[in-house]
Chain A
Amino acid sequence: MSKEMNPFYDPSLKKRHLKDKLFKYFTISSLSISLIFLAIFLGDMIIKGSSAIQQTYIQVEVSYNEKSKKSYRKAVERKYINLLSRAALREIPMKMKNNPSLMGTKKLVWMLADDQVDMYMKEYYYKIKSRDLKTLKALIGDSRVEKKFNTIFFTHGDSKTPEYSGILSAMVGTILTLIVAMAVAFPIGVATAVYLEEFSSHGKWSQFLEVNINNLAAIPSILFGLLGLAIFINLFGFPRSSALVGGLTLALMTLPIIVVSSRAALRSVPASIRQAGYGLGLTKVQVVKDHVLPLAFPGIMTGSIIGLAQAMGETAPLIIVGMIAFIPDSPSSIMDAATVMPAQIFTWAGMPERAYIERTAAGILVLLTVLISLNALAVILRKKFEVKW
């Protein structure tokens, strides 16, 4: 249409549209780049970790008798010994002790295979003596070798034999540590935020506090580890490597995140709500507790869960307070020595056996699953408690 016909004709229109488009493509390509990186990382982990979902088992005859009670090496035929998991074999005498009726019987049992056999079955690089390999091939021919769902990974702690190691004790350690961290950081953080937002006089003093809280959030996490070591272990004498010390250390780190996000949540509560309350002759405590905090709650929860998720992935400070120990059994209290998932992943990543690499990836997948669930929980909570105006 010509200039005369169109009263809305704008000569700069083309240029403007081009600019809009360029800007849009720029933002889209940045988004794509981050998505691609995420996809590569996840894909790599899934490929490496997915094989850990299954574990190889071999069907052998186990004889339960006096000899095998003394030495597990006598429990199965000698030629099978090298194909089976040491750790699983070692449990046979224990099993007999717990179940005396087994004595004198022979049974066909699916026994956990050695990690090298597992690698062979998964077509990775393996190291098996030729004699053992012959036996194994014969067993495969008889369909006595099978890959089954790897329950051990989810029901056991760390082990010196890779096929017998699992993420459970690290998971329990992480849960205990996070419970301690939240139990300490949440109430203190929220109370601090309430003081700063609702009670302090917004003067020099609160500005000084604010700057310092922001500084705290920026301190490298390893320094918190050193602080935890100095205070909780050396000064207070709490047990080293325990979830208690780890949790307290993480609480120090999470605190500023909770304070900052809670303050933002409190500030977003409209001033008119406070005025309404004060105008009715309510006290500060009544206004804050019953009207302001409930409205700020979704924001406070979101911030705290994000802080929690961050604390969960934290490794450096926990290594310093000793939470990287070899923990085969799940800790049963916050005083027991424990390790956490990222530290477990770190340990496995440093192991030479191929089977541990698989577990490293699987561990990362578990960690990510929990992280994503936590973040999803944050979104759900926010949606659920959000007040409609």
Chain B
Amino acid sequence: MKKNTKINVKDLNLWYGEKQALHNLDVKLYENKITALIGPSGCGKSTFLRCLNRMNDLVDSAKIEGNVIIDGKNIYDKDVDEVSVRKRVGMVFQQPNPFPKSIYENIAYAPLKHGIVKKGSECDDLVEESLHGAGIWDEVKDSLKEPATGLSGGQQQRICIARTIAVKPDIILMDEPTSALDPISTEKIEALMLELKKKYTIVTVTHNMQQAARIADMTAFFHLGKLIEYDETETIFVNPKEKKTEDYITGRFG
């Protein structure tokens, strides 16, 4: 497998108040690959994910040390603005969270604000392109003016993905994007992720071992805020080096 480093995490530590949630993480995430983060509840997967687009800046008690180098630049450097980081590192959440506005406005709002497109046909094109990209265009093309909150959970989640790619990021972070969805919607999102990785670097959290095995190129196993093992997905599932990893993926704890 040919691997280009996209995100280079170096000696990352994070504290919520007094409590340390991430310990000395060192990991390289690769371009145009899907990296799955697995591990028992509370081990710090979401926390780590939020470090990659500085969403933890919004948590008052969080204190971060170390480097997250994206395309050769540490995003925690003083001369980097967290808002511009998030424009390039998009995020999809566990619960679909469309804005309570129309489908069109959901997609168009951020690109218009960022000045990626102008109002009018240029913006219409981007909305269509993004909905195509998220594989939901055919389902909603006649109801763009309808509220996005009226869609099913799976459709809402794909609207959220469309909204994310409309900003034209390089990296998409997904925090358990299918855990609130039914199997059919899940399948659609998984297929979509495989499609999206051709253009984007994807980091996803999942509690579903089969899902990680199905779609991830790389898998990282976390436990108690530490990175226990990180390797190609096949190696992790077939031939893990650590006893803990094996116990977890075979369902002996977690």
Q: Given A203, A273, A278, which contacts B86 in the complex, CB threshold below 8 Å?
A: A278
Asked if B95 is at the interface of the complex by the 8 Å CB criterion, the answer is yes
* B191 part of interface (Cβ distance < 8 Å): no
A201-B60, A272-B95, A389-B149 given; A282·B55 CB < 8 A: no
Residue pair A202, B60 in contact (C-beta under 8 Å): yes
Chain B interface size, as a band, is 20 to 34
On chain A, the residues within 8 Å of B58 by CB distance are 274-275, 278
- Flag whether B45 is at the interface (Cβ < 8 A): no
Q: Please determine whether A276 and B97 come into contact, CB atoms closer than 8 angstroms.
A: yes
Q: Which of A328-345 contact B (CB under 8 A)?
A: none
Q: Quick one: CB contact mask for B90-124 with A, threshold 8 Å, 1 for yes?
A: 11110101111000000001100110000000000
| B-facing residues in A37-59 (Cβ within 8 Å) | none
A252-281 at interface with B (beta carbon < 8 Å): 270, 272-281
B133 in the interface, Cβ–Cβ < 8 Å?
A: no
Whether B93 contacts A283 by the Cβ 8 Å rule is no
A 318-333 to B, binary, CB cutoff 8 A, 1 in contact else 0: 0000000000000000
A275/B147 in contact, CB under 8 A: no
Q: How many residues of chain A get a CB closer than 8 Å to chain B's CBs? A: 23
Q: Does A77 contact B (CB under 8 A)?
A: no
A290 touches B (CB below 8 Å): yes
Out of A273, A278, A280, which one reaches B167, CB within 8 Å? A280
- A388-B151 Cα distance, complex, nearest whole Å: 12
| Residue contact A281 to B100, C-beta cutoff 8 Å | no
Interface residues of A in 130-154 (CB under 8 A from B): none
Option from B92, B110, B149, B160 in Cβ contact (under 8 Å) with A281: B110
Q: Kindly list chain A residues whose C-beta atoms are within 8 Å of the C-beta of B95.
A: 272
Q: Compute how far the CA of A277 lies from the CA of B106 in the bound complex, rounded to whole angstroms.
A: 10
A291 to B90, CA, bound (A): 18
CB of B83 within 8 A of chain A?
A: yes
Is A273 a contact partner of B93 (Cβ separation < 8 A)?
no
What residues on B are CB-neighbors of A387 within 8 Å? 100, 149
- Contact between chains at B97 and A282 (CB < 8 Å): no
Give the distance to chain B from A287, nearest Cβ to Cβ, in Å.
10
| Contact B60 A272, beta carbon cutoff 8 Å | no
Which has the most chain B C-beta neighbours within 10 Å: A279, A291, A388?
A279
Q: How far is the CA of A342 from the CA of B92 in the complex (A)?
A: 56
Q: Indicate whether B33 reaches chain A with its CB closer than 8 angstroms.
A: no
A281 adjacent to B55 (CB under 8 Å) = no
- Give the CA-CA distance A330 to B95 in the complex, in Å: 58
Give complex CA distance A203, B17 in Å: 13
Contacts of B160 in A (CB 8 A): 276
Among B160-191, those with CB < 8 Å from A are 160, 163-164, 167
Contact B93 A281 (CB under 8 A): no
Which residues of A line the B interface, CB within 8 A? Answer: 201-203, 270, 272-283, 286, 290-291, 295, 387-389
With A275-B97, A281-B84, A295-B100 already in contact, 19 other A-B pairs whose C-beta atoms are closer than 8 Å: A272-B93, A273-B100, A275-B91, A276-B98, A276-B99, A276-B160, A278-B55, A279-B55, A279-B90, A280-B109, A280-B164, A280-B167, A281-B88, A281-B114, A282-B83, A282-B113, A387-B149, A388-B100, A389-B149
Listed by A's residue number, 26 A-B pairs whose Cβ atoms lie within 8 Å are A202-B60, A203-B60, A272-B93, A273-B97, A273-B99, A275-B93, A275-B97, A276-B93, A276-B97, A276-B98, A276-B99, A276-B163, A278-B55, A278-B86, A279-B55, A279-B91, A279-B93, A279-B164, A280-B164, A280-B167, A281-B110, A281-B114, A282-B113, A290-B109, A387-B149, A388-B100
Which residues on B are within 8 Å of A, measured CB to CB? 53, 55, 58, 60, 83-88, 90-93, 95, 97-100, 109-110, 113-114, 147, 149, 160, 163-164, 167
